[in-house]
A and B are shown apart, each in its own frame.
Chain A
Amino acid sequence: MSSQQIPEDNLPVVQETAHGAVERSDDPFADPGLPAHQPRIQDLDERAAKRSERAVALMFTLSMLATVGFIASYVIFPVDKIVYIWPFGHVSALNFSLGLTLGAALFFIGAGAVHWARTLMSDVEVAAERHPIEATPEVKAQVMADFAAGAEESAIGRRKLIRNTMFGALALVPLSGVVLLRDLGPLPEKKLRKTLWAEGKQLINMNTMKPLRPEHITVGSLAFAMPEGLDPEAHDFQTQMGKAALMLVRIEPDDIKDKRQRDWAHEGIVAFSKVCTHVGCPISLYEQQTHHVLCPCHQSTFDLSDGARVIFGPAGHPLPQLRIGVNSEGNLEALGDFDEPVGAAFWERG
């Protein structure tokens, strides 16, 4: 920050007044010095001071009683006991009693200490001098001379070979730590582009865990599906579902505005990725009259009758569609994987 060129006289003048003394009596705004101490009732009346003492002691006593109450509550109330307490409703008796007794035990220590400080400890204000943070020129000169002597004795300025190789070594050594982070995870490769969906994989209904058939999907309903062969108890179930989650709706084929979408549907049943293209939340709200689906996280809204294009919200591109058909058993099946990555966009998505 270059600010050397500001002339000193541009800065406001500090009113130099010594503490307590009025130097320029002709200045009506001069610092009159610290006001005289105003005694409190406790400073003047020993009975008032006694009252304060008893109040403080009472608060400390209440704290002790509250701690006894805390331990008693811990012993008395079973952990699963639910009671009705107005106006809080049905609450855990243990949580309620432990919290309030602990709260009281702590609060009364604090209240007692503060009351003690405010009423009985001295409230005479004291002034302490400040000292500049900056060192005096003498100290600074001494430090600079010491530093120069130290640097000179190390010969770091003269022996450049040592200096440069040392800098090199110090610069390189943290690389080891960076390299060690490599095994935190695999490289992205094509992982975000592929899902479990493949040609011939049946659509499994997430509710019944049975293959979906076209007649299961009625106009106006929203069905969720996962690929055949994915076991909800499998180790990688969550990771696979994070990409493969599918939603299906049935739309009158004539209402489908997008030709490719119609071709990829089966008798008006369209299958789209359930993973929002904004930041990856699962989409779950369906407006059956308009065929709009809404992501509850950030309100991105997609029109399922028009290629799932974004009609509102922060998502940047349509939901990918899965091409589906019916196999020989009459079950819905995928006719391949999604033709583009599902979920949030990323640099390599293209």
Chain B
Amino acid sequence: MSTATTNPSAAEPASGRKAPAGERVADWADGRLGIYGLAKANMRKIFPDHWSFMLGEVCLYSFIIIILTGVYLTLFFQPSMGEIVYHGPYEPMQGIRMSEAYASTLKISFEVRGGLLVRQIHHWAALIFLAGMFVHMMRVFFTGAFRKPREINWMFGFLLFVLGMFTGFTGYSLPDDLLSGTGVRFTQGAILSVPIVGTYISMFLFGGEFPGHDFVARFYSIHILLLPGIMLGLLVAHLILVFYHKHTQFAGPGRTNKNVVGMPLLPVYMAKAGGFFFLVFGVIAAIAAIATINPIWAIGPYRVDQVSTGAQPDWYMGFAEGLVRVMPGWEINLWGHTLVLGVFIPLVAFGLVLGAIAMYPFIESWVTGDKREHHILDRPRNAPTRTAFGAAWITAYFVGLIGGGNDLWATHFHLSINAITWFVRIFFFLGPVIVFIVTKRICLGLQRRDRDKVLHGRESGLIKRLPHGEFVEVHEPLSPGQLHTLTAHEQYRPVELGPEVDENGVKRKISPVQKLRAKLSKGYYGEGNQIPKATPEEYKEISEGHGHH
């Protein structure tokens, strides 16, 4: 490539021996795609190993499964709200009016061989995809894997999570059954609550008044093309960045911020990750064989004047549902206009709660002022404030989820729905505070334990009687590797604002932003908010001074 002279063909070396077919194909591709350069950088790329790193893989594989099964479903599904009278093989629906969307979903379930299986794999995989993203996001959060240089990848992942929620919602609304139709009605009511533009958005989205004849076809194109298209792009970008940044790893002997220790992509990760795809797919297929999901034939077609009790969205929408259910019905009527706070505030709160976790990496990096790259993961205990914040966020999320199923909680546990509503109203605010405090204390306790372990060794469980009669437990000293692992984490010092007056006695200007930051920094790293880790001096004093107990 570098010279204009003819390159002797790589496929036919001077000896005249013909290269193997595979090599010749690779040569052909390399001449056009430059694959050898790519392979050199990536074929033996090192990936560190930890069980929690597979959570992201679950998401990737369930996404692929969703696409494969989704394409199959489009071959049979009719995205139409045209009404027909059912005359198919499913007896209970004989002679009932329904949309073509619902009828074709019945057809997929009862007439297409394997159609029910693919439908159920599709829906189960969607639930697992969302659950996987949630847990993967928590893994990244609690270990601090979102820190520089990975903040943008955190945002990509967050967008995938949010888009996944809406892809799921538009997907389960497609069969036009009574349950999902009720969910769409709710969505329309929530859209109406948006000040000024709400009625316009509703009219434009539904092509007129609810339900109209358009939303299934429109949701269909959003569900199968627009959102998954964007998600596919984000997913590829997410993976490229994972490769480019190289994976994070936990601290340990030989593992530093400047290396990555693990096993090569070819063959170990190829086999493990490739095999894991089949494991995930196999498990989801088995679940779809034995566990019915969304039995739309038992629910019936959507009728705007009918509803069933115990209506629930899919789990990932339950948090938003809960906020809507427990909110007091505030409405403000002024100057001929209505501000529907009872619905609009939950709508905004939903966005804010999600936004809080999305913005967290930027808040933390602002508080620490740390501009370095971080490739070594934190153990959650070693970042008590972050861990406490994450636990508090999960608490708010799950309290909302309880509110979303308040009717089911009431009927299944014989509780008063008023009591549940008030519980959610109070604990949506109070719960995160309590959990924040408790989590932080647990983290500090674990830090103290690590410190004791480093200084005094591991409790062996052996009781020894000393010559003068005292009983003591024998502590075994830790290995150098363990000592290093338990002391490898960094501890920040809080930001100091400095003296209030400068050397000339003139009052320094300290902006409120700087003060806020100093306060936050103290809350993160000040006294009592982290336990100083054992120092080599302390260790030496104890181990050389009076030996081990």
User: CB within 8 Å of B: which residues of A?
Assistant: 1-3, 5-6, 10-12, 14-15, 17, 19-20, 26-35, 74, 79-80, 88, 91-92, 94-100, 102-114, 116-118, 121-130, 132-133, 181, 184-188, 191-192, 206, 224, 226, 232-233, 235, 238-239, 241-243, 245, 274, 278-282, 284-285, 295-300, 310, 312-317, 343-350
Contact yes or no, A243 B209, CB < 8 A? yes
* Contact residue among A104, A117, A347 (Cβ-Cβ distance under 8 Å from B268): A117
Contact yes or no, B262 A126, CB < 8 A? yes
Contact yes or no, B289 A107, CB < 8 A? no
A106-B285, A127-B46, A314-B343 known; A99+B329 contact, CB < 8 A? no
| Distance, CA A194 to CA B182, complexed state (A) | 22
A80-B110, A238-B211, A281-B185 known; A30+B480 contact, CB < 8 A? yes
| Distance, CA A103 to CA B278, complexed state (A) | 9
* Contact residue among A10, A14, A19, A133 (Cβ-Cβ distance under 8 Å from B369): A10
| Distance, CA A64 to CA B258, complexed state (A) | 45
- Look across to chain A and name the residue whose beta carbon is closest to the beta carbon of B114: A98
A278-B329, A284-B307 known; A128+B189 contact, CB < 8 A? no
Closest A-B pairs by Cβ, 4 of them? A99-B289, A279-B189, A113-B275, A107-B282
Contact yes or no, A121 B189, CB < 8 A? no
* Contact residue among B182, B289, B493 (Cβ-Cβ distance under 8 Å from A10): B493
Contact yes or no, A110 B256, CB < 8 A? no
CB contacts under 8 Å to A, within B240-286, are: 244-246, 253-264, 267-268, 271-272, 274-286
Report if B28 contacts A (CB, 8 A).
Answer: no
Contact yes or no, A344 B262, CB < 8 A? no
* Contact residue among B46, B259, B267, B406 (Cβ-Cβ distance under 8 Å from A121): B267
Segment at the interface with A among B167-175, B190-198, B435-443, B465-473: B190-198
Query: What residues of A have a CB within 8 angstroms of the CB of B484 in the complex?
Result: 29-32
Known A11-B370, A347-B198; further 6 A-B contacts with Cβ < 8 A: A98-B114, A99-B117, A107-B282, A125-B263, A242-B304, A297-B311
* Count of A-B residue pairs with CB < 8 Å: 382
Contact yes or no, A314 B262, CB < 8 A? no
Report if B290 contacts A (CB, 8 A).
Answer: yes
CB distance from B153 to the nearest CB of A (A): 12
Query: What residues of A have a CB within 8 angstroms of the CB of B155 in the complex?
Result: none
Query: What residues of B have a CB within 8 angstroms of the CB of A124 in the complex?
Result: 263
A111-B279, A113-B272 known; A348+B199 contact, CB < 8 A? yes
Q: Can you list 29 A-B pairs with a CB-CB distance of less than 8 A?
A: A19-B254, A20-B254, A29-B488, A31-B253, A32-B253, A34-B261, A95-B117, A96-B289, A100-B286, A102-B285, A105-B282, A109-B275, A110-B276, A110-B281, A111-B279, A116-B275, A117-B275, A121-B271, A128-B260, A185-B207, A188-B203, A235-B213, A238-B302, A282-B307, A345-B338, A347-B195, A347-B340, A348-B336, A350-B336
| Distance, CA A132 to CA B337, complexed state (A) | 57
Contact with A along B371-382 (1 / 0, CB 8 A): 111010000000
* Contact residue among A79, A95, A107, A348 (Cβ-Cβ distance under 8 Å from B283): A107
Contact yes or no, A112 B275, CB < 8 A? yes
Report if B417 contacts A (CB, 8 A).
Answer: yes
| Distance, CA A19 to CA B253, complexed state (A) | 9
Contact yes or no, B289 A133, CB < 8 A? no
Report if B547 contacts A (CB, 8 A).
Answer: no
| Distance, CA A104 to CA B281, complexed state (A) | 10
Contact yes or no, A126 B263, CB < 8 A? yes
Report if B333 contacts A (CB, 8 A).
Answer: yes
Contact yes or no, B253 A35, CB < 8 A? yes
Query: What residues of A have a CB within 8 angstroms of the CB of B279 in the complex?
Result: 106-107, 110-111, 114
| Distance, CA A74 to CA B330, complexed state (A) | 56
A10-B495, A245-B305 known; A99+B286 contact, CB < 8 A? yes
A15-B488, A32-B481 known; A185+B204 contact, CB < 8 A? yes
